[in-house]
Amino acid sequence: MIKNGTMTGTVLNDEQGQTKVACDSVLKLLAGEEINNKVNYVPYVMITKENAAIYVK
């Protein structure tokens, strides 16, 4: 849909980025550090017609 232009864009559900943030938080907890934030944001990647070939198979 993005490649043929019927959909303008979407965002990547970045499982690798999400996993890294989660593991970093666990490592901090295991090291005895406090985590004060309840939400950890993972930067998103906008997928458009110009870069869809990289992400859409």
pLDDT one digit per residue (tens) for the chain, 57 residues: 888 888 888 998 889 999 999 999 999 999 999 988 888 889 888 999 899 999 877
CA dist 41 and 31 (Å) reads 21
pTM to 2 decimal places: 0.65
Q: What does DSSP assign to residue 28?
A: H
Q: Which CA distances in Å does 16 have to 3, 24, 31, 49, 57?
A: 24, 12, 22, 23, 18
Q: Which CA distances in Å does 47 have to 15, 21, 53?
A: 15, 21, 9
**Do β-strands 9-11 and 46-48 pair in parallel, antiparallel, or remain unpaired?**
antiparallel
